[in-house]
Structure 1
């Protein structure tokens, strides 16, 4: 089903489409390839999640399934927040080759598309946050039309953007990833990592701890359903955290907010206004009640010598509240 068929397209005027910025691909074979992969991946997760709900109601789930769900959710949430977002997108810290492999692996195991596409989309989001060119803003659609309906905007930002007919030119926004052999290995083999995360690791643990019956429950509940729910949770930063919550840095030139529930569920990524003020910070909390678990783990890994060159710009400029200039796409 297309975005238009789902009834969540923006209210477009009869005027010509607004000019899109560089690096936005509209239509063509690359977009068709993106859509085929999106439909296939989400189709598998939709079917698996529905089966997981039926299984839980009919067969029930036990402590093993719940424990594996929690462990895999925590690992892949950290993979998205620390590996994908803070390491690959913003280069908030550095690490050696073994740790880079680890971060790329758990990021790709989050089952949210390839590392390459995720990095390119997120960098474009920062460059054009809540403006024409933002791939997943609740205020504009992929073609640059402004949303009038709050609900339609939220639905677009929360996931419908993945089904539109635009995509990011990664030659512009993720050139460094294209030149990174470690990252590109995981891009090329992403479906194997999806399978490990959503099927084989939960299934193997379930079989080891409880036999065939628990294995099926782990695959459905701790694997496929967990992967889908992680996508929904991660999407809160693009939808809720650009619409609701509080703004510590009110002069940041977009609609980003900090939102408590999103912050808890994403291990700190819901401190989105803080993040948009200091995009390269590895630790984004600015108050005792702003709990950034991803950042705390990164700082802890730094103490252990496993990561280094940890960025903390806000610590050097604690009273600075003026917005940073929008960063240019990272090409190297």
Structure 2
């Protein structure tokens, strides 16, 4: 059974300016994916994933250095927070205002996660919120129905399959505010350059520190390939797992749930139920014990004067969105 849309309050993307569709930069790549892009996408999914599968036996066989682990963790959390704080909470939902240097830094950090150009990422996510778990949602796991076979197919679609859909979200409709910013438009257009830089930093550092090609290779394996694969699958799990299972202490119009074991790796994004109950909130982990490193960093940005007008969750607003105690478990 396919879920039909519900009429409810949800963040709307700003309307496109008149004539936006005619602008040469409006969609930053067109409204349909070509075969070349789909092949490139398959490679960027497959190669890092193979490295992730090989990580355990290779670590057992010839070990992993502290340098490799340090590069992997550092690059992982730079990219992860670039996505969670930048692409998601700031650019998509406007959870706070950022001074220009922080705005540019967040756009670059998110691009280093290798999850697609900024404008396209934001457009996809705004469309997801407009139709969350209903007809029109780009990546709902409930797309094919509620039976077990349908859900298994839907989980695959929500996790990876949707990215190969030829039709793209119209960026001039869902992200005209970003398209109009020349700096953000340039960062989005140069996604390939940020990808190359992201993959090159670990082997460059590893090679220079160890003064060896082997050091460069192991740093590339752990700091580039394994790191990208892990971050990709954690991010995609928010689309798939967090919309299929998890606790739901807050009222939302969809099936978003909290999955605690993804919280640290997702930088707080897996407290997904509150996010869909209150999408513009700068903090997702609002209950006792819910770790949300992204919210902590936003707080530090605010204290430093880099961020302002932060939309912290108010107690009254949270209580108004509370489910009945019997509805908390998925």
User: 2:167 is matched with which residue?
Assistant: 166
Aligned: 1:64 with 2:67:
yes
Aligned: 1:182 with 2:177:
no
- Asked if structure 2 preserves the Cα contact closer than 8 Å seen for 1:69 and 1:222, the reply is yes
State the alpha-carbon separation in 1 of the partners of residues 282 and 274 from structure 2.
11
- 1:93-112 to structure 2, matched below 5 A, reads 93-112=96-115
User: 2:266 is matched with which residue?
Assistant: 266
Coordinate RMSD, CA, aligned: 2.4
The count of corresponding residues between Structure 1 and Structure 2 is: 293
User: 1:194 is matched with which residue?
Assistant: 195
CA positional deviation for 1:166? 2.7
- 1:125-164 to structure 2, matched below 5 A, reads 125-140=128-143, 146=145, 148=147, 149-164=150-165
- 1:164-313 to structure 2, matched below 5 A, reads 164-198=165-199, 200-210=200-210, 211-249=212-250, 251-313=251-313
CA positional deviation for 1:154? 0.8
Using a 3 Å threshold, how does the CA distance of structure 1 residues 132 and 31 change in structure 2: closer, same or farther? same
Specify every segment of 5 or more residues in structure 2 that has no aligned partner in the other structure, as ranges. Answer: 6-12, 14-29, 324-330
State the alpha-carbon separation in 2 of the partners of residues 278 and 125 from structure 1.
14
State the alpha-carbon separation in 2 of the partners of residues 51 and 292 from structure 1.
28
SS, match of residue 318 in structure 2: coil
State the alpha-carbon separation in 2 of the partners of residues 218 and 66 from structure 1.
8
- TM-score of the pair, normalised by structure 1: 0.82
Using a 3 Å threshold, how does the CA distance of structure 1 residues 162 and 256 change in structure 2: closer, same or farther? same
Deviations 1:197-229 (A, max 9, x none): 12x110111012212211111112210221122
Specify every segment of 5 or more residues in structure 1 that has no aligned partner in the other structure, as ranges. Answer: 1-10, 13-17, 24-28, 324-332
CA positional deviation for 1:38? 4.0
CA positional deviation for 1:266? 0.2
SS, match of residue 268 in structure 1: coil
- Asked if structure 2 preserves the Cα contact closer than 8 Å seen for 1:49 and 1:220, the reply is no
SS, match of residue 317 in structure 1: helix
- 1:4-15 to structure 2, matched below 5 A, reads none
Using a 3 Å threshold, how does the CA distance of structure 1 residues 209 and 56 change in structure 2: closer, same or farther? farther
SS, match of residue 265 in structure 1: coil
Using a 3 Å threshold, how does the CA distance of structure 1 residues 159 and 45 change in structure 2: closer, same or farther? closer
CA positional deviation for 1:264? 2.2
- 1:24-43 to structure 2, matched below 5 A, reads 30-33=31-34, 36-43=36-43
- Asked if structure 1 preserves the Cα contact closer than 8 Å seen for 2:139 and 2:162, the reply is yes
State the alpha-carbon separation in 1 of the partners of residues 308 and 38 from structure 2.
35
SS, match of residue 31 in structure 2: helix
